[in-house]
Amino acid sequence: MTMMVFILLAYLLGSIPFAVVTSWIFGLPDPRTFGSKNPGATNILRSGNKVAAILTFLGDAGKGWIAVALAQHFAPIWGLDSDAVTVVALAVFLGHLWPVFLHFKGGRGVATAVGVMIGLNPWTGLLAVATWIVVAAIWRISSLSALATALIAPVYAWMFLDFEASTLVIFIMSVLIFWRHKSNITNLISGKEARFGKSGTP
């Protein structure tokens, strides 16, 4: 029963749509109505409000980190082992992808995955962020940065976490991120994917 409570709370935390909340605070259009129609930081950036985009990223990443941090703190107190932390990590990520508050139509999960990875192992998360920044700086394509990060994240996890359950969770998140970017992959192959500052659906 305790484990189910942890999972439910993590899922509900993951379901908080910071892109929608931030848009409402800043008086921006609902991110589900323009651009890629994705409730995430990259689409918020398309509105031209960089502060709102940054806050969206921090909110989405923050909920991933705080779910893991709280699980790490409270799991031993409630008699749960380390597996509870990995289950919570996956639950908060799935909450972002399929949020109950948005009729199960959420974002692509990159920021939340980064937050989860920082919570599981800071070096893994920071290397993921560095990978995203480097790829974005060179090619200026958000989706390519996300896919490159998702591709190499399990390697970082293996380096710092070995073959723990946390590594499996990171691998699952990477697979789901690729699946959520399937339309972007098609655009990348056909050369139609937009770069930063240009029209398209990154």
pLDDT of residue 195: 87
- The pLDDT of residue 201 is above 70: no
200 pLDDT band, cuts 50/70/90, is very low
Q: Average pLDDT for residues 150-178, to the nearest whole number?
A: 96
- Could you read off the pLDDT of 132-158 as tens digits, one per residue? 999 999 999 999 999 999 999 999 999
Rounded to the nearest 5°, which phi and psi values hold at 150?
A: -65, -35
The closest alpha carbon to 122, from 97, 159, 164, belongs to: 159
Residue 52 and residue 21: Cα distance in Å, rounded?
A: 10
| Structural Rg of the chain based on CA atoms | 16
Residue-level pLDDT at 202: 40
- Residue-wise pLDDT for 94-140, tens only, equals 999 999 999 999 999 999 999 999 999 999 999 999 999 999 999 99
Q: What is the per-residue pLDDT across 36-84, written as a single tens digit (0 to 9) for each? A: 899 999 999 999 999 999 999 999 999 999 999 999 999 999 999 999 9
pLDDT score recorded for residue 194: 86
